[in-house]
């Protein structure tokens, strides 16, 4: 019996009763005890380590000056409206963002960030360090890629849930005492869950991740769901928005990816891994991805490799350096991958030529229900996105395209009522739903959006991405 069955009843049971139930379970999932009791409310303005309990939403910010650890067995709950301003060591402002001064969360237990659409949780830096976030500028000059703080390292966590959460300006380097698996100087990921606990789970819903030096999210050996989020300015000269490694099982759906350095979504497994990576990637929108990746033959939109399995449907891939790629030199598990109904648009001849990522080394086949055409054909008719930015070539992307990595208008990738991408989706398949049984007391239950009838992240009926 899985422990998650008890969570929805936890409000009616005392901790003593819960302890008795735990002793009778055949399988222990680590999320239980801390989720049912999040401890005492945090007090004060400055986050201290270790930290547990509830941080209440308020109009004034809280301040992070050093690493904040959530110990094993503890839970940290961030309520709607919490704003965390990462400022680093107050007496060492000149070193903020360097290896000795880029604090972040280190989660060894459970962390829940439960914002709402009208009151999101925000984790960011001071406005004076951001420059002009709306300026189109090269990555070398953009404060979004300077890596001021350390994001969330949940490698030892049992459960990490982020809903309506805004995380930006992440990627400071590890120092000399980097944890196992990392090296001094490596940029920290926006969110890392290279899971070391059996049964670890990760959920990201309706959130905004922007400004990362390397991967926005890197997961390994966990069950997960990434639904209806917005990814912009992910990766300075390399890195994926979402990098899914061996043992990852779950869904990536209804997300928007704008200007990812490499791919929006990358999936890999490992030969002989005890759990094969199996990921459904559907109804996402990819725009201008792949142009800041400095390695030849890399960078695009969707990439499957190294024995990975999955389903890939209904994705809208527009002006990307490469289309969907099934990597030929380290093949995914082609016997366990199904794909169709991708909708492609290319404003240049080289983009059109790379819908199947031929130059990048891919065995992707054009499918019967794909939408593919020549230069400028099948314009998806976004509400506000510019599809005329010069792209350069596959070998030498244009500098302007490399800096076109965000949207100035929320909802710009919604489809106009006249869009030919409407009614191009395939809906008769099921999400993987690996976290569908997760219930966190009366606080949270994942919302998995089913495949949609329209290509991309926004649906004409109002479902899908809500950003």
pLDDT of residue 150: 98
Q: Structural domain boundaries of the chain?
A: 1-214, 267-467
pLDDT of residue 220: 98
pLDDT of residue 41: 73
Q: Which residue has the higher pLDDT, 167 or 14?
A: 167
Beta bridge partners of 122: 83, 166
Specify the pTM. 0.91
Among residues 146, 155, 138, the alpha carbon closest in space to that of 173 is found at 146
Alpha carbons 101 and 278: distance in angstroms, whole number: 37
Among residues 94, 116, 96, the alpha carbon closest in space to that of 104 is found at 96
CA angle at 343 for the pair 208 and 259, rounded to the nearest 5°: 35
Alpha carbons 324 and 244: distance in angstroms, whole number: 16
Q: For residue 259, is it left (φ>0), alpha (ψ between -120 and 50) or beta?
A: left
pLDDT in tens, 365-400: 999 999 999 999 999 999 999 999 999 998 999 999
Q: For residue 464, is it left (φ>0), alpha (ψ between -120 and 50) or beta?
A: left
pLDDT in tens, 228-259: 999 999 999 999 999 999 999 999 999 999 99
Beta bridge partners of 462: none
Alpha carbons 312 and 164: distance in angstroms, whole number: 25
Q: Which residue has the tokens 């399988």?
A: 27
pLDDT of residue 39: 61
Beta bridge partners of 231: 209, 257
Asked if the model's pLDDT at residue 4 lies above 60, the reply is no
Beta bridge partners of 107: 70
CB 239 within 8 A of CB 213: yes
Cα-Cα end-to-end distance for the chain: 37
Among residues 272, 276, 226, 227, the alpha carbon closest in space to that of 247 is found at 276
Instruction: Identify the H or E element spanning 349.
Output: helix 349-353
The burial class, CB within 10 Å (0-12 / 13-18 / 19+), for 60 is exposed
């Amino acid at each position: 019996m899985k422990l998650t069955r008890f969570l929805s009843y936890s409000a009616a049971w005392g901790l003593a009763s819960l302890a008795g139930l735990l002793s009778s379970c055949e399988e222990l999932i680590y999320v239980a005890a801390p989720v049912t009791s999040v401890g005492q409310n945090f007090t004060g303005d400055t986050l201290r380590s270790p930290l547990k309990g509830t941080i209440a939403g308020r109009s004034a910010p809280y301040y992070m000056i050093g690493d904040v650890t959530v110990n094993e067995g503890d839970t940290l709950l961030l309520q709607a409206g919490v704003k965390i301003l990462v400022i680093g060591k107050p007496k060492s402002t000149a070193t903020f963002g360097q290896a000795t001064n880029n604090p972040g969360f280190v989660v060894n237990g459970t962390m829940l960030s439960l914002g709402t659409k009208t009151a999101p949780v925000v984790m960011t830096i001071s406005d004076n360090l951001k420059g002009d976030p709306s300026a189109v500028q090269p990555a070398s000059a953009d404060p979004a890629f300077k890596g001021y703080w350390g994001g969330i390292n949940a490698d030892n966590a049992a459960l990490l849930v982020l809903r309506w959460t805004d995380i930006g300006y992440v990627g400071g380097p590890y120092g000399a005492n980097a944890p196992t698996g990392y090296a001094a100087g490596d940029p920290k990921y926006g969110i890392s869950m290279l899971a070391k606990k059996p049964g670890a789970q990760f959920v990201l819903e309706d959130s905004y991740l922007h400004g990362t030096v390397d991967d926005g999210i890197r997961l390994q050996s966990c069950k997960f769901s990434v639904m209806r989020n917005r990814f912009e300015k992910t990766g300075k000269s390399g890195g994926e928005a979402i990098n899914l490694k061996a043992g990852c099982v779950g869904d990536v759906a209804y997300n928007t990816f704008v200007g990812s350095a490499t791919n929006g979504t990358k999936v890999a497994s490992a030969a002989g891994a005890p759990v094969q990576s199996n990921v459904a990637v559907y109804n996402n929108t990819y725009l201008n991805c792949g142009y800041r990746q400095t390695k030849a033959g890399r960078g695009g939109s969707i990439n499957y490799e190294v024995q990975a399995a999955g389903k890939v449907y209904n994705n809208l891939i527009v002006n990307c350096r490469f289309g969907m790629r099934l990597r030929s030199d380290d093949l995914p598990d082609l016997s366990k991958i199904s794909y169709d109904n991708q909708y492609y648009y290319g404003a240049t001849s080289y983009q059109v030529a790379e819908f199947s990522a031929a130059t990048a080394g891919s065995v992707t086949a054009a499918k019967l229900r794909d939408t593919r055409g020549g230069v400028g054909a099948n314009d998806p008719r976004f509400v506000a996105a510019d599809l005329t930015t010069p792209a350069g070539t596959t070998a030498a992307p244009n500098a302007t395209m490399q800096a076109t990595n965000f949207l100035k208008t929320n909802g710009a990738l919604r489809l106009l009522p006249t869009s030919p991408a409407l009614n191009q989706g395939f809906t008769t398949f099921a999400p993987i739903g690996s976290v569908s049984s997760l219930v966190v007391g009366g606080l949270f239950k994942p919302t998995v959006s089913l495949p949609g009838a329209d290509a991309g992240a926004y649906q004409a009926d109002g479902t899908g991405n809500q950003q």
